[in-house]
Amino acid sequence: MFKTELIIFDLDGTLIDSSEDIAWAVNKTLKQMGFDEFSYQAIKERIGWGVKMLLEKVLPKEKQDLLEEARSIFMGYYSGHLLVKSKLYPGVMDILNHFKNKKLAVATNKPFNLTEKILDGLNISGYFKKVVGGDGVQNKKPSPEAIEIILRELRVSPEKSIFVGDSLIDIEAGKKAGVMTIGAAYGFRGRRELEDAGADVIIEDINELTSLCE
């Protein structure tokens, strides 16, 4: 059991499965711009680095100069389609209630305004003492900046904190910040990426946190 005062969560692929809504918006963007669409799985594997990086990975290499146009089109689609298919992973509400007396926070590369709308829409915003979005830092994950802001503002040491995320960039950010890293293998990337990233612990179900943290 790990004695913790603060649990920081990634959002997409950790607290929520937003992959279908994101994939829908990506393909609407590509179709509008006259490019080939991607499979749902191919888009899902590219989520996590932020909107700009996601679009860089789906635009043709010779069309990267259209990135800002693509971003604007994507945001138009996605901002109105945030919660059509997106939902909490099984057990998330139970975990938030179980740990409600601890300090809970979110560190995501998703823009803050979209994150806020999603947390509000899923009725979980009240659980979190601090939420840092990708536009609230100079350097997004895998930089530790978002985690360091949370540690500083909530006045908790890295040694008493954990970060739960589903991707290499989450584990890298957590390690750089000096916190314990827990990989969510049920998320978008799977166990192998988390093992390769060197996650301290890997879980297949978010409910496993109850046996890891006290």
Considering the candidates 10, 12, 17, 166, report the single residue annotated as catalytic.
10
Q: Report strand pairing: 161-165 vs 87-88.
A: unpaired
Cα dihedral sign for 131, 137, 139, 144?
negative
> For the chain, what's the residue count?
214
10 catalytically annotated: yes
CA terminus-to-terminus distance, the chain: 6
Confidence at residue 193, expressed as pLDDT on a 0 to 100 scale: 95
Strand partners for 8: 105, 163
Residue 89: CB partners within 8 Å, gap ≥ 6? 14, 15, 16, 17, 186, 187, 206
User: Alpha-carbon distance 23 to 43, whole Å?
Assistant: 6
DSSP tag of 18: -
Query: What is the predicted pLDDT for the residue at 48?
Result: 83
pLDDT digit string (tens) for the chain, length 214 residues: 899 999 999 999 999 999 999 999 999 999 999 999 999 999 998 998 889 999 999 999 999 999 999 999 999 999 999 999 999 999 999 999 999 999 999 999 999 999 999 999 999 999 999 999 999 999 999 999 999 999 999 999 999 999 999 999 999 999 999 999 999 999 998 899 999 999 999 999 999 999 999 8
For each of the domains in the chain, give its residue range(s) and CATH number, in order of start. Answer: 6-17+86-212 (3.40.50.1000), 19-78 (1.10.150)
> Largest alpha-carbon pair distance within the chain?
53
